[in-house]
Amino acid sequence: MIGVIELNRRKVSGDIDYDPPTREELLNRIYIETKLNKNIEWFTNDPATIDATAFLFSPSSIHSGHSKLWTAERVLSAALIAVMPASFFVPLPAMDYLFALSVIVHIHWGMEAIVVDYIRPSVFGNVIPKVSLAALYLLSILALGGLFYFNYSDVGVTQAIRMMSKI
């Protein structure tokens, strides 16, 4: 796949004749190249390669799915402020399950952000980030299953915390 800058360099120099891509085609191409971990040269010293296509790039239009996840993370974080004390004041099994689910999902999303941000394919290759993310999912599932099992077969998470605080 030829990068946007390379296409523009050829257009300015007159090597090829092509129809300029639409804004959606450019955003899709940039998104795909970014997902495939291709290096795109955004800034260059050659003034002939700079054109308006570099200014059409809009991160909000490409990563609109991430904004919904970000909103869900913030809603869960705010809900934890109510769920934590409520699970202690209302000792019901449903509250124990809600507490366990919300805490594990909150921790998982935080650790997932750390893994994605710091275990990058450009630094560690393509295998280690995938293995790290798979390990995180496995640990999150095991932790959630363990807390659910503890809620089902024992006194529950909040009662266990109460009992430990009496020690």
Per-residue pLDDT tens digits for 68-116: 888 999 999 999 999 999 999 998 999 999 999 999 999 999 999 999 9
* DSSP reduced 3-state for 101: helix
Name the token pair of 76: 């869960």
Annotated binding-site residue numbers for a ubiquinone: 118
Annotated binding-site residue numbers for heme b: 106
Return all residues near 46 (Cβ < 8 A) that are at least 6 apart.
9
pLDDT value at residue 60: 47
Annotated binding-site residue numbers: 106, 118
Asked if the model's pLDDT at residue 127 lies above 90, the reply is: yes
Enumerate domains of the chain plus CATH numbers: 4-61 (no CATH), 63-166 (1.20.1300.10)
Per-residue pLDDT tens digits for 63-75: 556 788 889 999 9
What pTM does this model have? 0.60
52 DSSP assignment = T
